[in-house]
Amino acid sequence: MTFKPLKEKGIELDKQLRYWHDIAHRKYNKTLVDAYSRTRQILMNGIEIEAWNFKHNFARICKDRDTLEFLAQTKRIEDAQQTTINWFAPFDQSVLETTLGYEQVAVDLTAWLAQNEPDDYVRETFDFGLLEDFDHLYRYAQWAYMEHGINPNSILQDNTDVILGRPTQQHHNCNILRLRKPYDKKKTSPQTKVNILTVLSGEQQTHNYYAEHGFAYGNELLRETYAEIKDVEEEHVTMYESLIDSTESLYEKLLLHEFTEVCTYHNCMTDEEDEKLMPVWEEFLSFELEHLHIAAELFKKHEHRDPEEVIGEDIIHPCHFKNQKDYVEKVLNDEIDKRLDKNGGYIYIKDIPDDWASYKVQNIVNKKGSPSEGTIRVIAEQEGRDIVFVHDNLKYKLPELAGKGQDKKSLAPDTVRAEQYEEFKNKEFEL
Ligand SMILES: [Fe+2]
Ligand SMILES: [Fe+2]
Ligand SMILES: [Fe+2]
Ligand SMILES: [Fe+2]
């Protein structure tokens, strides 16, 4: 029988406070944990931060006493959930190892969402973002090896490919071009709304993580790589949030936030095999059911509408993590040369006009080179080539992909060209 969130029982708010040990206790070993338990942990941290942040913004402009009391009580709960989940990670998981986890979330989550997205335009936007995070993973994988001497697969566990995507140096757009067309809240399915809020929360937290940790390394080129990719994550937040209908009311948004929390925890609980993490997903799902029920009552009181009009009756699974290599490879082959066009459209390199707004941005930020390109130069200098984990046929296509994905009109001066990838082809990387 389908799980119906508005009908399931939760735990009362005054039973949701927990003691410090439960909040601060670490839960996994970085080498023993399953890669997809780690991605669930990373994503749910982002979901909780978005819930907490939204409630603070709501509280600052809210006059209704009942609503303020609900927000006051649950901001603290969302915050404790966030800390619990974020601190599952052990202190010996380095910033770069965690970073590989963040980009693995972005790639495999966005691929799942794209394939389970009923709205074609939103799906196209997911595919577009997917190829950019896929390239970030490739660049960071090189650094994980160079800085810590680790095989990036010790984190990824062979679930996600590592190869060039749409090159990071070309993710720097005029932020006005990042603005996509918003959905119509009256016509759009709950699935689309939850999908967008889920990926948006993940991207926002990825931005925050790089902003807070990118300075952890002394290596100047690595610091600049974090700065460069952090800025792209900022663009991703702008892109995904622009898909949301801006006429959604705050009570509608509150309902959607709690519903997204219920759906993501339910999805985690359904998929989890780690016996330390499982009870946390179960417990937090029951917390969120209560948040959802109260948010639904507030929505009815203030909007005089049924919550089902916004969130439907059934649970949605927006974060099922699994190997997405085939799907990502298809998008890579089809869309590496796709770019953003004005008015929410998309365009391929061959059709871009000379006065394209993103050229101005790229000519400034990449003026003295792109750190993400410098990354490949440095590892090639040391090891003869870049680290790539894909099947052989795709590996041999790397020079062709590099040539197709690079917009010649806006290449950073230190770009690693297709001919240099051709030279890498005949060298084996010895890990
Ligand atoms: Fe929460
Ligand atoms: Fe990324
Ligand atoms: Fe991203
Ligand atoms: Fe909540």
Q: What is the pLDDT of residues 186-201, one digit of tens each?
A: 999 999 999 999 999 9
Phi then psi for 346, rounded to 5 degrees? -130, 155
Please tell me the predicted confidence (pLDDT) of residue 426: 86
Domain membership of residue 407 (yes or no) is no
Please tell me the predicted confidence (pLDDT) of residue 126: 98
| CA–CA distance, 158 with 148 (Å, rounded to integer) | 19
If we measure between CA atoms, which residue out of 245, 393, 265 comes closest to residue 319? 265
Distance 175 CA to ligand 1 centre (A): 30
Domain membership of residue 106 (yes or no) is yes
| CA–CA distance, 389 with 156 (Å, rounded to integer) | 10
What's the one-letter identity of residue 3? F
Q: How many other CB atoms sit within 10 Å of the CB of residue 399?
A: 18
Domain membership of residue 357 (yes or no) is no
Please tell me the predicted confidence (pLDDT) of residue 92: 95
Domain membership of residue 69 (yes or no) is yes
Q: Which residues surround ligand 4, an ion (CB under 5 A)?
A: 258, 261, 288, 291
Distance 301 CA to ligand 2 centre (A): 40
If we measure between CA atoms, which residue out of 222, 137, 167 comes closest to residue 418? 167
Domain membership of residue 404 (yes or no) is no
State the pTM of this model: 0.98
Structure-token pair, residue 429: 């990387």
Q: Which ranges of the chain have pLDDT less than 70?
A: 1
Half-sphere exposure of 64 (CA within 13 A, CB side): 11
Distance 78 CA to ligand 4 centre (A): 6
Structure-token pair, residue 127: 């595919």
Ligand nearest to the CA of 294: 4
Distance 149 CA to ligand 2 centre (A): 22
Domain membership of residue 346 (yes or no) is no
Please tell me the predicted confidence (pLDDT) of residue 430: 86
Ligand nearest to the CA of 83: 1
Distance 74 CA to ligand 2 centre (A): 30
Distance 22 CA to ligand 4 centre (A): 18
Count of domains in the chain? Answer: 1
Distance 79 CA to ligand 1 centre (A): 8
Domain membership of residue 59 (yes or no) is yes
Please tell me the predicted confidence (pLDDT) of residue 1: 66
Distance 48 CA to ligand 1 centre (A): 5
Distance 261 CA to ligand 1 centre (A): 6
Distance 28 CA to ligand 2 centre (A): 24
In sequence order, the 6+-apart residues with CB closer than 8 A to the CB of 369 are: 412, 413, 414
Distance 198 CA to ligand 2 centre (A): 15
Token pair 């999908």: residue: 195
If we measure between CA atoms, which residue out of 71, 86, 217, 76 comes closest to residue 144? 217
Distance 290 CA to ligand 4 centre (A): 8
Please tell me the predicted confidence (pLDDT) of residue 295: 98
| CA–CA distance, 186 with 189 (Å, rounded to integer) | 8
| CA–CA distance, 129 with 117 (Å, rounded to integer) | 14
Please tell me the predicted confidence (pLDDT) of residue 27: 85
Q: Residue 96's domain spans which residues? A: 13-126+174-321
Distance 131 CA to ligand 2 centre (A): 9
Distance 132 CA to ligand 3 centre (A): 7
Half-sphere exposure of 407 (CA within 13 A, CB side): 29
Domain membership of residue 70 (yes or no) is yes
